[in-house]
Structure formats: structure tokens, C-alpha cells
Amino acid sequence: MTLAYAILAGGKATRMGGGDKPLRRLGDRTILDHVIERLAAPAGRLVLNANDDPSRFAGYSFPVVADAMADHPGPLAGILAGLDWAATQAGVTDLLSVPGDCPFIPRDLASRMIERRAAKGTPFACAASGGWTHPVIGLWPVSCRDDLRAGLAGGERKIDRFTGRYGCAAVEWPIEGHDPFFNVNTPDELQQAEALLPLVNGRGIS
């Protein structure tokens, strides 16, 4: 299999006061920089899902694609946009989706998701921690995009309900001092992430 990566940044960040959460500073870099570094995606295999003017991400070398549906119905539309992009990339069979506001995602995310999905024999996999699943952090076969498009057209908006129809393997990560899928939704959570950053870096948590 050949994997592509999609960072989802299509939300309106209302709890953060608007703007682009991934472009907020965390330490000496943006949250998006932290996500990119941890994904370690091969050159040419990374896409960002974001709406409106893409020029605000001009400092990055990857393509930016808008939601696949004009009314921006949620993360499934961003995942579909990523899948449609991945389908244009030679040889790509699968897409790993992550939110753009999770600066501490584990470095072994892709390898463990691929391994667990194969072991369970399901078409999809998603991350889990602390007894909770994180459906937006998922492994998607590119071949599912027509089914997903039909689901969205039929009103489907919940990721786990869509993947549950076919089978989705949950991949659990331990919480060791911090949740590896901690996401920054509010100014207070950005401060929490600032406090966690030395812990994550100092302990080399992966």
C-alpha cells in the first residue's frame, strides 16, 4: 500500500475566537508545524484541507483543498476532499486523516494504524486513547470515496456511523503524562499545550 496524509483545518474555530487554529503559535512554531513534523509525510504525499482563501498557507509547500461540499458539513467533507486529492496521486491507495489542532500526535500513528487494520481485516481504522475513540484520526482506503460521497449526499455527517457500516478497527494509545491526541480548541487549551510542550519534548514521548 502507498499512503497519503491529510491535515484537516476546515473548521471555523469559533471557540478559539475565529481564525485558523493550526496557525496559532505553540512554542516557537505553529501548531501546524508540530503536526507536520510528527507525521513525517514523504514529499508530495501531504495535503491540507482548508476553506476560503488558501493564500494564508502560502508559506507551506503542500497543496490546499477545500471541502468537497459547498455548505461545509463537517470533517467528513474534508476527508472526502483529501480522498479525491489522493486519488489523483499515482499509486496512492490509502489516506491518513488527522486534525490540524493536535500537536502531539504519536510518531508511530501511521504504522500502528496500518498494522491494526490489517490484523482486524477491516477497511477502516481510527485512533483511541483514554477509553475514547477519535474518528477524525483515521485510515481510509481511497476506494471508499464514492461511498462516502453518496453518504454525504444522503445526509450522513458522523464519521463513526459511516465507518461503522463497513468495520473500523480502533487503535489504542496509552496516556503517559498527556493524551497524545490532545487537541487545541480554546485559548485555555492552547495554554495547556504550552505547559505540556516541555514535558513532551523533554521525555521524548512518541
C-alpha cell at 15: 471557540
**pLDDT interval class at 14 (50, 70, 90):** very low
Are the C-beta atoms of residues 169 and 116 closer than 8 Å to each other?
yes
Looking at per-residue pLDDT, the higher value among 56 and 204 belongs to: 56
Question: In the predicted model, is pLDDT for residue 19 greater than 90?
Answer: no
**pLDDT interval class at 94 (50, 70, 90):** very high
- Candidate from 11-15, 72-76, 136-140 with smallest mean pLDDT: 11-15
156's CB contacts (< 8 A; 6+ apart) are 76, 162
Q: What single string gives the DSSP state of each residue in 148-189?
A: HHHHHHTT---HHHHHHTT-EEEEEE--SSS-TT----SHHH
> pLDDT (tens digit, 9 = 90+) per residue, 54-77?
999 999 999 999 998 888 889 999
Percent above pLDDT 70 for the chain: 94
Structural domains in the chain, sorted by start: 3-203 (3.90.550.10)
Looking at per-residue pLDDT, the higher value among 201 and 58 belongs to: 58
